[in-house]
Chains A and B, each alone.
Chain A
Amino acid sequence: MNVNWYIVVSALIFCLGAVGVLVRRNPLVVLLCLELMLNAGNLALIGFARMWGGLDGQVFAIVVMVVAACEVTIGLGIVVALYRRRLPIDVDELREMQG
């Protein structure tokens, strides 16, 4: 398969993730949609790495996976802290940092 097919799939997954971030209210699902967007980025990176025949894109993809793991850890920590304080698990209800 040509590389541009992979790039199109990656763009589709990225847009689905963006729509999910905008539409969903449960912060857990918002985090899942962020994962979708990061993974779409990974697919594009690896596709471009294949296009050039180099390995640098794959190394970038591994770094993106590290960043995603950190983001999940902190995000889930915040969700657990919210739950402990009996705050609503709903991004529409949490407006204190809105300014």
Chain B
Amino acid sequence: MAFFFFLFAIIALAGAVGVVTLRNPFYCVLSLVAHLIALALLFLLLEAQFVAAAQIIVYAGAVMVLYVFVVAYVGGGDHPRPLWRAGARQRALAVGFGAALFVELSIAVLGTGLQALGTKGPEVTSAYGSPGEIGAKLLTDYLLPFELASFLLLAAAVGAVALAGRRGGLEADDRPLAPEHGEYVAPPRPAATGTMSEGVAGYGVTTPLPEPRVEDRELRTRERETVEPPA
């Protein structure tokens, strides 16, 4: 048990260090996936089977796929500029703050009167942490938080659609530019837009910087007006 604990703890900590220090957001996400999987294995060592499974499926699966999509869409924002532009002073302050926080947390943990903290915890049956037990807890003692969590998820989903949804502006670009040819002409985009290679390399590395949206929209309106003069 001790071997597995140290193995998974080291992987989890290395993943966390990778998230903080890696320059490319794409690798940060991959590092976080490794961290989450190691953490799920630590949960298993703590007899939390259901939470471990949910961690793998929900976090390392669904949430991280969302992250990868957004990183591939937005591109590596950190890439062209140095990681520590904030300066050595802010970095030193931040690291000092983190060290102070760790010391404080350690004192808080060591200073508690919790006698059981130095033990492995009481013996538990194999039903401990199983989906059945968790479900019984969620639907009896914690029914209100359970329902509130579902409302929170609903509100977040609606909010995300409202935030990221298109509010006009791009629809005009989707119209065919040359209607007399009777075929759709795709609006110009830089090659490799939205691909994984773009997410890894960032803008301006493998692909040229895209034209500003406003300008090429103006260009396109001018083109449209020359094709079909406004009545």
Contact = CB atoms under 8 A, between A and B. Distances in A.
B78 A74 contact: no
Given A13-B13, A65-B58, A19 B20 contact: yes
A58 to B, nearest CB: 5
B159 A19 contact: no
A20 B19 contact: yes
Contacts of A11: 102, 105-106, 109
B12 interface: yes
B118 A14 contact: no
B122 A77 contact: no
Given A5-B5, A59-B138, A39 B50 contact: no
Interface of B (DSSP majority class): helix
Interface string B45-58: 11110110011001
B129 A58 contact: yes
Given A8-B106, A28-B71, A77-B159, A61 B152 contact: no
Interface string A71-99: 11110111111011010111010000000
A71 to B, nearest CB: 8
B2 interface: yes
Contacts of A86: 212-213
A43 B96 CA distance: 24
B177 interface: no
Interface string A20-39: 10111110110111011001
Nearest to B93: A22
* Interface residue range, chain B: 35 or more
A80 to B, nearest CB: 4
Nearest to A28: B25
Contacts, number: 247
Interface of A (DSSP majority class): helix
Contacts of A50: 46-48, 120-121, 124
29 contacts: A2-B118, A2-B120, A17-B19, A19-B20, A19-B97, A25-B78, A28-B67, A35-B32, A36-B35, A43-B43, A49-B48, A51-B121, A53-B123, A55-B133, A56-B141, A58-B51, A59-B145, A62-B54, A62-B134, A65-B54, A65-B58, A66-B152, A68-B59, A69-B58, A70-B156, A73-B66, A80-B73, A83-B74, A89-B74
Q: Which 4 A-B pairs rank lowest in CB-CB distance, beginning with the nearest? A: A77-B163, A70-B156, A20-B20, A89-B77
Interface of B: 1-2, 5, 9, 12-13, 16-17, 19-20, 25, 28-29, 32, 35-36, 39, 42-43, 45-48, 50-51, 54-55, 58-59, 62-63, 66-67, 70-71, 73-74, 77-78, 84-86, 90-91, 93-95, 97-99, 101-102, 105-106, 109-110, 114, 116-124, 128-129, 133-134, 137-138, 141-142, 145, 149, 152-153, 155-157, 159-161, 163-164, 166, 212-213
